[in-house]
A and B are shown apart, each in its own frame.
Chain A
Amino acid sequence: MAYELFNDEHYSWRQSVRDFVNKEIVPNVEAWEEAQEFDPGLFKKLGKEGFLGISFPSEYGGGGKDFIFEMILCEELSRGTSGGLAASIMVHTTMATQLIYALGSHEQKVKYLVPAIRGDRIGAFAITEPNAGSDIANIQTFARRDGGDYVINGTKMYITNGTIADQISLAAKTDRSAGYRGISTFIIERGIPGFEVVQKLKKMGHHTGETAEIALKDVRVPRENLLGEEGKGFYGLMKVMERDRIVSAAISAARAEIVLQLTVSFAKSRHAFGKPIANYQAVGHKLAEMATEIELTRQLTYYGAAKYNAGKDCRKESAMAKWYGAEMNNRICLQALQIHRDLGCVKGNPIERIFRDARLGSFGGGTTEIMKEIIVKLMDF
Chain B
Amino acid sequence: MDFELTQRQKNIQWTAMEFAKGEFDSNLSITLDQNREFPGAIWKKACQLGFIGVNYPKEFGGLGLGLLEKVLVIEAFCKVDSGIGIALNTVDSGAAIILKFGSSGQKEQFVTPLAKGQKMLSIAFAESEVEKDFSTISTEAKKAREEYILNGRKRFVFNALLSDAFIVLCKEPKEGWITLIVEKEEGIEIKPIQKIGMRMIQFGDLEFKDVRVPIERRVGGEGEGLLHVNSFCEERGLRRTAQALGISEGAFDRAVKYAKQREAFGKKLSQFQVIRHKLADIAVGIEVARWLTYKSATEYDQGRVKADFLQITQLEVSRRVVRMVYDAQQIFGGAGYMAEMEIEHYYRDGVVSGVEMGTEEELKDSIAEKIAGPEEK
Contact = CB atoms under 8 A, between A and B. Distances in A.
A345 B333 contact: no
A94 interface: no
B338 A363 contact: no
Given A273-B130, A280-B361, A345 B330 contact: no
Interface in A309-336: 330, 334
A174 to B, nearest CB: 21
B194 interface: yes
A323 B351 CA distance: 21
A364 B344 CA distance: 15
B72 to A, nearest CB: 27
B193 interface: yes
B338 A201 contact: yes
Nearest to B330: A362
Given A134-B333, A345-B355, A369-B274, A204 B339 contact: yes
B355 A341 contact: yes
A270 B128 CA distance: 10
A58 B363 CA distance: 59
Contacts of B334: 128, 133, 157-158, 360, 363-364, 367
B159 to A, nearest CB: 14
B352 interface: yes
B196 A355 contact: yes
B125 to A, nearest CB: 12
Contacts of B155: 342
B351 to A, nearest CB: 7
A103 to B, nearest CB: 25
Given A338-B355, A363-B333, A273 B135 contact: yes
Contact of B361 (A135, A283, A367): A283
Contacts of B193: 346-347
Contact of B347 (A204, A337, A342, A348): A204
Contacts, number: 117
A200 to B, nearest CB: 11
Contacts of B126: 342
A352 interface: yes
B77 interface: no
Contacts of A340: 129
Contact of B337 (A363, A368, A369): A363
A203 B338 contact: yes
B264 A347 contact: no
A342 B156 contact: yes
A138, A330, A342: most-surrounded residue (chain B CB, <10 A): A342
Interface in B146-198: 155-156, 193-197
Contacts of B263: 131
Contacts of A344: 355
B315 to A, nearest CB: 12
Contacts of A274: 135
B192 to A, nearest CB: 10
Interface string A342-381: 1111111000100110011011100111001000000000
Contact-size category for B: 35 or more
A1 interface: no
B58 interface: no
Contacts of B222: none
Contacts of A158: 334, 338
A347 B156 CA distance: 12
B265 interface: yes
B359 A134 contact: no
B257 to A, nearest CB: 17
Interface in B56-85: none
Given A128-B334, A204-B339, A369-B274, A347 B348 contact: no
Contact of A345 (B34, B197, B264): B197
A24 B263 CA distance: 43
A202 B329 CA distance: 16
Contact of A352 (B130, B196, B336): B196
B360 interface: yes
B364 interface: yes
A282 B196 contact: no
A341 B359 contact: yes
A2 interface: no
B133 interface: yes
B47 interface: no
Contacts of B362: 272
B110 interface: no
A337 B355 contact: yes
A157, A158, A273, A372: most-surrounded residue (chain B CB, <10 A): A273
Contacts of A133: 264, 333-335
Contact of A347 (B133, B136, B194, B330): B194
Nearest to A330: B326
Given A341-B359, A342-B156, A343-B129, A135 B196 contact: no
B372 to A, nearest CB: 14
Interface in B326-377: 326, 329-330, 333-340, 344, 347-348, 351-352, 355-356, 359-362, 364
Contacts of B130: 270-273, 341
Interface in B115-131: 126, 128-130
Interface in B232-268: 263-266
Given A342-B129, A342-B155, A355-B196, A203 B359 contact: no
Contacts of B310: none
B348 A204 contact: yes
B20 interface: no
A134 B330 contact: no
A257 to B, nearest CB: 21
B111 interface: no
A359 B337 contact: yes
Contacts of B129: 270, 340-343
Interface string A213-242: 000000000000000000000000000000
B264 A134 contact: yes
Contacts of A356: 196, 348
CB-based closest 7 A-B pairs: A202-B339, A347-B194, A341-B129, A363-B334, A272-B130, A342-B156, A135-B264
30 contacts: A134-B264, A138-B264, A158-B338, A201-B340, A202-B34, A204-B337, A204-B339, A270-B129, A270-B130, A274-B135, A282-B360, A282-B364, A283-B361, A339-B359, A341-B355, A342-B195, A342-B356, A345-B196, A345-B352, A347-B195, A352-B195, A355-B196, A359-B337, A359-B347, A360-B334, A367-B333, A367-B334, A369-B272, A369-B330, A372-B274
Interface of A: 128, 131, 133-135, 138, 157-158, 201-205, 270-274, 280, 282-283, 330, 334, 337-348, 352, 355-356, 359-360, 362-364, 367-369, 372
Given A202-B340, A272-B130, A341-B129, 4 more contacts: A270-B128, A283-B361, A342-B129, A362-B330
